[in-house]
Amino acid sequence: MTNGHGTNGTRRPGRILTAFLCALTAAGLYGCSGTAAPDPAPTTTAPAGRSPFTGLPAEPAPVLAVKIDNVAAARPHTGLGAADLVYVEQVEGGATRLLAVYSSRLPERVGPVRSARESDIALLAAFGRPALAYSGAQSALNPLLAAAPLYPVTESTAPAAFLRSPDRAAPHNLYLRPARALAAAPDAGDARDIGFRFGTAPPDGTPATTSTVRYPAARYTFTWSAADRAWRVAMDGREARATDTGPLTPETVVVQRVTVRPSGFRDRTGAVSPYTETVGGGSATVLRDGRAHEARWSRPSAASGTTFTTPDGAPLAFAPGQVWIVLAPR
């Protein structure tokens, strides 16, 4: 379904970013001063009429990020095939959750929806001021979410945007109505450049029919499908599907190797929540067109996008279409 939402409202990016960085000072990630932080330097935008997230034709539209449950009881998902981007993040116990980003298209429903984590704040800072839909968070994390440059959308702030499915047991039965979620965040920012580039693949690369990424308690396998011109996703050895669109088939998969460390937060059982560091740099593997390309990733600050380059420093273009970013432990 095409996203038909309007333009942004008035923003105060300098003051918002300052509050965000000050809130993270306690975590030792940023310094804080009494003056407003300058806006990030402008970056090259995607060609007019194309999404900076997928490289496909799209009209400017607000950004909605949704935190999605990903244990076995939460599958199959709904609405995941319509996402522009899907991030895979490690959570407690070595399991994973998904952060799906929508702008080009809005499905009727998305879910199941689960709670936010501290890592989501820095990850989403590159998007300007998006809406973030989630089912709640630890009480100690709420001040950081409130200070971050985003619009929280929860059952408390936008009850009409959520519904419970009768065919699943709680807590795996909460779903989001994306159009209503964005109606509750009318000033959410439009899609903007976050560092990705799309176009012709580099001339090198290694033929790859399959690639597997392992977490302590989860496994993802991406298998090239020449018929789909995309990668078929399997989770823990089973094909990943969406209830509304069928098999999940991203055109580009990025295995971004990052530091995953303990955070200062714990879940309800007392388990320490991991923190995924997405600011900095490191190695990556970009899967596109049935080939694997070794790459470097760089993100100098939370407000900047992430660039992916070949080993010799040239921009590494993605295949136009849905992109999965697998934030894999180094």
End-to-end C-alpha distance for the chain, whole angstroms = 37
For residue 316, the SS3 value is coil
**pLDDT of amino acid 26:** 38
In order of their start, the domains of the chain are: 56-183 (3.50.90.10), 206-329 (3.50.90.10)
The predicted structure's pLDDT at residue 46:
62
pLDDT by residue (tens digit) across 268-291? Answer: 777 889 999 999 999 999 999 999
Cβ contact 321:252 at 8 Å: yes
The Cβ-side half-sphere exposure at 255, using a 13 Å CA radius, reads: 19
User: Which phi and psi angles does 183 have, rounded to 5°?
Assistant: -65, -30
pLDDT for residue 17: 40
Helical H segments across the chain, by residue range: 13-24, 119-124, 142-147, 178-183
In this structure, the strands spanning 307-309 and 280-288 are: unpaired
Give the pLDDT confidence of 77-99 residue by residue, as tens digits. Answer: 999 999 999 999 999 999 999 99
C-alpha span between 105 and 82 (Å, rounded)? 6
Token reading at 287: 């899967």
Distance CA 277, CA 197 (A): 22
Tokens for 323, please give them. 């992109």
Q: Distance between CA atoms of 140 and 118, rounded to whole angstroms?
A: 10
The closest alpha carbon to 212, from 292, 114, 276, 157, belongs to 292
Mean predicted lDDT score pLDDT of the chain: 88
Q: ∠ at Cα 22 (20, 26), nearest 5°?
A: 115
CA distance 133 to 82: 16
Q: Which of 231, 189, 203 is nearest to 326 (CA)?
A: 231
Tell me the C-alpha distance between 169 and 113, whole Å. 13
Bridge partners of residue 238, in order along the sequence: 235
Task: For the chain, state the CA radius of gyration.
Answer: 19
Predicted confidence pLDDT, tens digits, the chain (330 residues): 444 443 333 333 333 344 444 444 433 333 333 333 333 333 345 678 999 999 999 999 999 999 999 999 999 999 999 999 999 999 999 999 999 999 999 999 999 999 999 999 999 999 999 999 999 777 888 899 999 999 999 999 999 999 999 999 999 999 999 999 999 999 999 999 999 999 999 988 999 999 999 999 999 999 999 999 999 999 999 999 999 999 999 999 999 999 999 998 877 777 889 999 999 999 999 999 999 999 999 999 999 999 999 999 999 999 999 999 999 999
What is the tens place of the pLDDT at every residue in 241-275?
999 999 999 999 999 999 999 998 877 777 889 99
CB burial of 254-285 (b: ≥16 within 10 Å; e: otherwise) equals bbbbbebeebebeeeeeeebbbbbbbeeeebb
The HSE-up count of residue 222 (CA atoms within 13 Å, CB side) is: 26
Neighbours of 138 (CB within 10 A): 16
